[in-house]
Structure 1
C-alpha cells in the first residue's frame, strides 16, 4: 500500500483510492433478527455479495483503486470478521482529514470488533499517518464527519459521536490546516443516525440536506475562538448553496459519493427528480448502481466507502 499517501481535503475532488469491505457471510433471515440487530429488512448474503461485486467493479471501471480490507486480514481475525454483519460500513471506522488518518471509536458494541481489525491494517500500511482519539470512553463514528473544503469541517455529535471525542481531535484538525470546525447535534433516531444520513456534498458549492436542518444551530470552533451560527449561515459563509429536500428516501437520496467534480455514484433507488430540479445538478454525470440488498443494513453508498486518496 506504500505507493500512495492518504490525502483528502474535500468530499468532491477526484477519488483515487478507496477502502471497502465485503459483506459478512451470514444471512439475516427473518424480521425479528433484523430488528434486533438494527437492520431494516432481511438480507440474503449471496444477493448482498452480488451487490458488492457490482459496486466494486463500478468503482474500478471509473479508475478508482479499490482495497477490500477483508482480503488483508489474518486467518484468525477473519474467523470473527466474516460474521460481523455491519463490517461493510467502513466509513465509520476511520477518516482521512488532510494528510492524516483519524481512527474512529465505535459508538455501538455490536460494531466494536471491526475497528481494531481495520485500524491494525491502516497502521501497517501508513505507520506515520494514524491518529487516535485520546479522550477515554468516547465515540467517534466517521459517518458523522463531512469535509466541506480545505477550510471547514462539519461534525455531528449525539447518537454515535461524542463532543468529548471531537474536542480530543480538534487541535490536530487545525494543525492539518483547517480553520473552522462546526459541531451540530441532530435528532437521535435510526433515520438520522449519522450526519451523512441528513446531508451530503454534491460539489464545491452545493450541499444537499433534509430541510429540518435549517432550524439547527452549529457551534463553530476555531483554534482561538468559538461562536454560534445557523447551519445555512455557516455553509453559505464557506461558499455552499443548500438544496433543501422536503421529501426524501433517506439512504438512497442522501447517501451517495462523489467520484470526481462532475460525477456522482448514486443508488438505483435514488429519487431521480432530485437530480433534475436544481440547476447545479442538472449537468452532473450520474452513475447508478444496485446496492438494494446492502442498503437493507441501514446504510448507503457513502457508508460503504472510506476514501483514502482524493486529488
Structure 2
C-alpha cells in the first residue's frame, strides 16, 4: 500500500483515500434469519457484491483511492471474515480525527471479530504515532462520531458507544487541536443506532438532521470544563445551520458521504425532494449509486466508508 499521512479535519473536505470492505459470501435467505441478525430484509450476496463494485467504481471515478481491506487479510483471517455479514460497515471500526487513528471497540458481539482484523492492518500500515488510541475498554463504534470542523466533534452515546469510552479518548482529541466535544444521547432503536443515522454534514455550514434532534441537549466538554447546550445552539455556535427533516427514509436520506465540498455520493433510494428544497443543496453535485442490497443490512453509504485522508 502506498504510504501517506492520515488526515481528517472535517466531513466535507476532498476525500482522497478511503477504506472499504467487500460484503461477505453468505446470503441472508429468509426474513427470520434477517430479523435474528438485525437486518431489514433478505440479502443475496451476488447482488450485494454487484452493489459494492458499483459503489467502489463510483468512488474511484471521482479520484478517490480505495483500499478494500478484505484483500489484505491472511488466509486464516479470511476464513472467518468472509462469513461476517456486517463486515462491509467499516465506519464503526475506527476513525481518523485530525492526524490520528482512533480505534473502535465493538458494541455488538456479532461484530466483534471484524475489529481485530481491521486494526491489525491499520497497525501494519501506519506508524505507531498515528495510532493515537488503542481500543477503549468499553464500546466505541465510530459511526457515532461526526467531525464538525477543526474546532468541534459531535459524539453519540447509546446502543453502541458508551460515555466511558468517550471519556477515555476525549483528552486525546483535545491533543489533536479540537477545543470542544459535544456528547448527545439519542434514542436507542435500530433506526437511530448510530449518530450518522440521525444527522450528517452536507456543507461546511449546513447539517441535515431528523427533526426530533432539536429537542435534545448536548453535554459540551472542553479541556477545562463542561456545559450543557441544545443541539442546534451548539451547531450554530460552530457555524452550522441545521436543515431539519420532518419526513425521511433513514438510511438513504441521512447516510451519504461527501466526496468534496461540491459533491455528495448518495443512494439511488434517497428522497430527491430533500436536495431541491434547500437553497444550499440545490447547488450540490449528486452522484447516485445503487446500494439497495447493501442497505438491507441496516446501514448506508457512510456506514460503508472509513475515510483515511481528506484534503
Same fold (TM over 0.5): yes
Within 5 Å, give how 1:2-81 maps onto structure 2. 2-81=2-81
Report SS of the residue matched to 1:110.
coil
Within 5 Å, give how 1:135-174 maps onto structure 2. 135-136=136-137, 138-174=138-174
CA contact (8 A) 2:105 2:136 kept: no
**Structure 2 partner of 1:219:** 219
Report SS of the residue matched to 1:46.
helix
CA contact (8 A) 1:134 1:168 kept: no
Report SS of the residue matched to 1:26.
coil
CA RMSD in angstroms comes to 0.8
Give the C-alpha shift of residue 134 in structure 1: 6.3
**Structure 1 partner of 2:184:** 184
The separation in 2 between residues aligned to 1:133 and 1:199, in whole angstroms, is 27
Report SS of the residue matched to 2:280.
coil
CA contact (8 A) 1:133 1:165 kept: no
For these two proteins, the number of residue pairs brought into alignment is 310
1:243 maps onto 2:251 in alignment? no
Per-residue CA shift, 1:70-117, capped at 9, x if unaligned?
000001000000000000000000000000000000000000000000
TM-score, normalising length from structure 2? 0.99
Per-residue CA shift, 1:148-207, capped at 9, x if unaligned?
000000000010000000000000000000000000000000000000000000010000
Q: Which runs of 5+ in 1 are unaligned?
A: none
The separation in 2 between residues aligned to 1:203 and 1:178, in whole angstroms, is 19
CA contact (8 A) 1:253 1:271 kept: yes
**Structure 2 partner of 1:124:** 124
The separation in 1 between residues aligned to 2:297 and 2:237, in whole angstroms, is 35
The separation in 2 between residues aligned to 1:8 and 1:233, in whole angstroms, is 24
Per-residue CA shift, 1:120-156, capped at 9, x if unaligned?
00000003211335652x1000000000000000000
CA contact (8 A) 1:2 1:126 kept: no
CA contact (8 A) 2:104 2:135 kept: no
